[in-house]
Amino acid sequence: MIAAPDFITNYSVSGWQKMKIIVVGAGGTGSALLNKLFQMHMTLINLGAQGFDVRVFDDDIVSPSNIGRQSFWPCDLGLPKVEVLVSRYNQFGGVNWSAITRKFEADDARGDTIIFGCVDNVEGRKAIHEAVQKERNIVWIDAGNDSRSANVFLGMSAKTNNKHCYLPTVYDLFKSQMDAPIANPEPSCSTAEAVARQDYGINDIAAFHAVQMLWGFIRHGQTEYQGVTIDLRSGVTTPVPADAEMWAMFGFVNSAIAA
């Protein structure tokens, strides 16, 4: 079990300020996650809370392979992804979220913030990890996937029960892969190529599990696991516990999460 950081607990109890959220990436997983965040935002508003203050970072534009498969329409072709998505929620949902048409940088994050990582490249994850190291009270929920499987991992550097707690991030757990010289994937030119790379539904499932971890913190004050692995082939979703032995299996040798 992982207790909610104090800044999330304070949000849940006070209900007088909006929770700061950053979404890095507005593609398949990011666009699906934004929809779920808006649903959660409205649920919290109806429960008497202030909802979310969301900033979305992405420097990509809508391509033909994004139409329909992601949350984009034919009229969006060639437009910045973040501007398309955020403007719809602002216009039709009554929110005032922010679209930033560039890549996320570590200095973009400040304390008391939830960061959702929805990028398919190492560069983006390194920037988020740097933000976690620089700032206190940052929670990073990373959602990554390949064609038919996905991983969602929670990491944080935040006060919990008035003590600083460090939970290893996806960068810590997969550091050897993160530091390896891996070329970023080329954009898909067709829907067939895109579906071959990311099968239908995998982004939506990863997004659901990512926001569910935040909901556990807000509504229940805890989450029962640090991550999940998802396999579309077998239909099996497996929770990953927050456990020093598990971290060692991934190569993370520092077993102390409190300082």
Q: Tokens at residue 186, please?
A: 């080329």
pLDDT of residue 58: 97
pLDDT of residue 41: 97
CB atoms within 10 A of CB 231: 13
pLDDT of residue 146: 85
CB atoms within 10 A of CB 6: 17
Question: Is 18 exposed, middle or buried (CB count within 10 Å of its CB: 0-12, 13-18, 19+)?
Answer: middle
Residue 85 inside a domain? The answer is: yes
Instruction: Identify the domain containing residue 33 by its residue range.
Output: 2-250
Residue 258 inside a domain? The answer is: no
Residue 256 inside a domain? The answer is: no
Residue 259 inside a domain? The answer is: no
Give me the chain's average pLDDT, please: 89
Residue 115 inside a domain? The answer is: yes
Instruction: Name the pairing type of β-strands 98-100 and 227-231.
Output: unpaired
Q: Which residues contact 245 (CB under 8 A, 6 or more apart)?
A: none
pLDDT digits (tens, 9 = 90+) for 157-176: 999 999 999 999 999 998 87
Which residues partner with 216 through β-bridges? none
In one-letter notation, the amino acid at residue 11 is Y
Residue 125 inside a domain? The answer is: yes
CATH code assigned at 68: 3.40.50.720
3-class state of residue 56 by DSSP: strand
Nearest to 111 by CA among 127, 141, 133: 133
Residue 255 inside a domain? The answer is: no
Residue 154 inside a domain? The answer is: yes
| Consecutive 10-residue averages of pLDDT for the chain (259 residues) | 94 86 97 97 94 97 89 93 97 97 96 95 94 92 91 96 93 80 52 58 94 97 96 94 87 57
pLDDT of residue 242: 92
* Number of domains making up the chain: 1
